[in-house]
Amino acid sequence: MFFSIQELEVRKIPFNESFEPGKVDFSGSGLRQTSALTSSGIARLLEDTGGEVRVTGSLRVEVEADCDRCLAVARFLVEQDFDLFYSPAPEVDADEIEIHDSETEMSFYQGEGFDLAEVMRDQILLALPMQRICREDCRGICPLCGANRNETACRCEVKTADDRWGALKGFHASREAKGS
């Protein structure tokens, strides 16, 4: 669905759209859409702003990515309310752009308007955690043998320059020396 400024000048545009996997372009993001993306809300042109559009609504979608630690599948359910502001792309230097209230998120559009699918893509990417992991306590891949440590308890000893590790070794050594 395309939000045309020309159309927004005469009416608010409500939307209630469902995007099957593949309809929203997630290329380059490492994400795979695994359910229909549903979205509903309304877009309206704000008066006396020179073309500012406010888009409010909610979305729901399931996506998956490769876990950052172990490369297994990491699944995410994104359920998100949004309240977004879109301005015409300024032709002035970037540092002359007026910074709006920090609680509002301002984006820009070029030309005649913008597409709902692009709005959805941006919102989903923003909603995901910085670290995409399959579970909170994912133990990752052993750097020595390559085993997935969630599945296999390998016996590799990771040697690090960490002082705490050295202290622990010293502790064991002294216990043994006492013959306990």
Residues that bind Zn ion (CB under 5 A): 67, 69-70, 134, 138, 142, 144-145, 147, 154, 156
Backbone angles phi, psi at 101, to 5 degrees: -40, 135
Q: Which is nearer to Zn ion, 13 or 74 (CB)?
A: 74
Would you state the structure tokens that stand for residue 60, as one six-digit string?
């729901």
Minimum CB distance to Zn ion, residue 160 (Å): 14
Contact 58, 119 (CB under 8 A): no
Minimum CB distance to Zn ion, residue 151 (Å): 10
Minimum CB distance to Zn ion, residue 74 (Å): 6
Strands 53-66 and 37-45: antiparallel
Nearest to 160 by CA among 143, 148, 172, 136: 143
What's the gap between Cα 74 and its chain centre?
A: 13
DSSP structural state of residue 89: P
Q: Which is nearer to Zn ion, 96 or 157 (CB)?
A: 157
Q: Which is nearer to Zn ion, 24 or 31 (CB)?
A: 31
Q: Which is nearer to Zn ion, 13 or 141 (CB)?
A: 141
Minimum CB distance to Zn ion, residue 132 (Å): 9
Q: Which is nearer to Zn ion, 54 or 75 (CB)?
A: 75
Minimum CB distance to Zn ion, residue 141 (Å): 8
Q: DSSP readout, 94-124?
A: GGGSPP--TTSEEEEE-TTEEEHHHHHHHHH
